[in-house]
C-alpha cells in the first residue's frame, strides 16, 4: 500500500490558507456591520502572510505552488476584503462611482501580484517593485480603524478617496519599496536605519494607537515616493 508522505510545504501552506480564511471572514464581518473586527482581521491575515514566508524559509520548503497560493490568498485578504470594507464604510454613498473607486485596490493589487510572480527570480527578495499589496491593505485598514465611527465619517471622505487612488497607483508603479530587515544581527547591520524605523514605529503606535498605525504606513509610502524622486534626479544629473 502506497502512503503519501506529508511534505514540509504543508505547514507554510496551512498558514497561507489561514490568511485566506481571514480575508473571507473579514468580508463576512464587514457585511454584518462589524467594521472594527473586519479591519483587524486584515492585520491578522498579514500576520499569517508573514508567517508562511518565515516558516517556508525555516523548513526550506519554498515552492512555486506556495507562491501561487500565497498570491491567490492575498487577492482575497488584501484586495477584495479591504475593497469591500471601503465600500461599506465610506464609499457606499457614491453608488456606482463608489463601487468603482472601492474596487481599485483589488484590481491594482491583482495586477501587482501577477507582475510580481512573472518577474520573481528565486524566493528571496531584498526589495519590491511597486507598493506591496499587504502594505496597501494595512494602510486602508488602519485608516478605517482610526477614523471610521459608526457612520459618522463624512469629514474624512475627502481623505479616503485620494488615499485609495494613490495606493492603487503605487501598487502598479515602478517605485521601489524595500523589504523589512530580518531580526538577526546580520539583518540589523545590513539595514540599521530600517531597524531604527521599526523601533520608532512601535513607539508611535504605543503613543497614538490606531492613528499611529495609519501614520506609520503613510510614512512608509511617502518615504518610498521621495526616495524614487531622489534617485530619478541623481541619475539624470550623473548623465
Domain residue limits, the chain: 10-176
Q: Please give the pLDDT value at position 120.
A: 67
Residue 206: pLDDT over 50: yes
Tell me the fold of 10-176: 1.20.120
Average pLDDT over residues 175-189: 69
* Confidence bin at 173 (pLDDT 50/70/90): very high
Stated pTM of the model? 0.88
The set of cell numbers assigned to 115 is: 507582475
Q: Please give the pLDDT value at position 100.
A: 97
Residue 205: pLDDT over 50: yes
Alpha helices in the chain (DSSP H): 10-31, 35-58, 64-74, 81-86, 95-119, 133-147, 157-171, 185-190, 192-238
The set of cell numbers assigned to 53 is: 514566508
* Confidence bin at 198 (pLDDT 50/70/90): confident
How far, in Å, CA of 15 to CA of 74, rounded? 12
How far, in Å, CA of 86 to CA of 83, rounded? 5
Residue 122: pLDDT over 60: no
Which percentage of the chain shows pLDDT scores above 90? 51
* Confidence bin at 163 (pLDDT 50/70/90): very high
* Confidence bin at 95 (pLDDT 50/70/90): very high
Residue 183: pLDDT over 70: no
The set of cell numbers assigned to 230 is: 531622489
The 10 Å Cβ neighbour count of residue 32 is: 11
Amino acid at each position: 500500500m502506497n502512503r503519501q508522505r506529508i511534505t514540509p510545504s504543508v505547514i507554510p501552506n496551512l498558514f497561507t490558507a489561514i490568511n485566506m480564511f481571514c480575508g473571507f471572514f473579514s468580508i463576512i464581518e464587514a457585511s454584518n456591520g462589524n467594521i472594527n473586527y473586519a479591519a483587524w482581521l486584515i492585520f491578522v491575515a498579514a500576520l499569517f502572510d508573514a508567517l508562511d514566508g518565515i516558516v517556508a524559509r525555516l523548513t526550506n520548503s519554498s515552492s512555486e505552488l506556495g507562491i501561487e497560493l500565497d498570491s491567490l490568498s492575498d487577492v482575497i485578504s488584501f484586495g477584495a476584503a479591504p475593497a469591500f470594507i471601503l465600500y461599506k464604510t465610506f464609499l457606499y454613498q457614491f453608488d456606482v462611482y463608489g463601487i468603482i473607486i472601492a474596487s481599485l485596490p483589488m484590481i491594482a493589487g491583482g495586477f501587482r501580484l501577477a507582475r510580481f510572480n512573472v518577474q520573481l527570480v528565486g524566493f528571496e527578495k531584498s526589495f519590491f517593485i511597486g507598493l506591496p499589496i499587504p502594505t496597501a491593505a494595512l494602510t486602508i485598514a488602519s485608516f478605517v480603524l482610526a477614523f471610521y465611527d459608526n457612520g459618522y465619517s463624512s469629514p474624512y471622505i475627502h481623505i479616503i478617496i485620494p488615499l485609495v487612488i494613490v495606493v492603487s497607483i503605487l501598487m502598479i508603479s515602478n517605485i521601489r519599496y524595500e523589504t523589512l530587515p530580518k531580526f538577526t544581527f546580520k539583518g540589523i547591520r545590513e539595514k540599521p536605519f530600517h531597524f531604527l524605523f521599526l523601533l520608532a514605529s512601535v513607539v508611535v503606535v504605543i503613543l497614538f494607537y490606531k492613528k499611529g498605525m495609519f501614520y506609520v504606513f503613510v510614512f512608509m509610502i511617502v518615504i518610498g515616493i521621495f526616495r524614487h524622486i531622489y534617485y530619478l534626479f541623481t541619475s539624470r544629473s550623473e548623465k
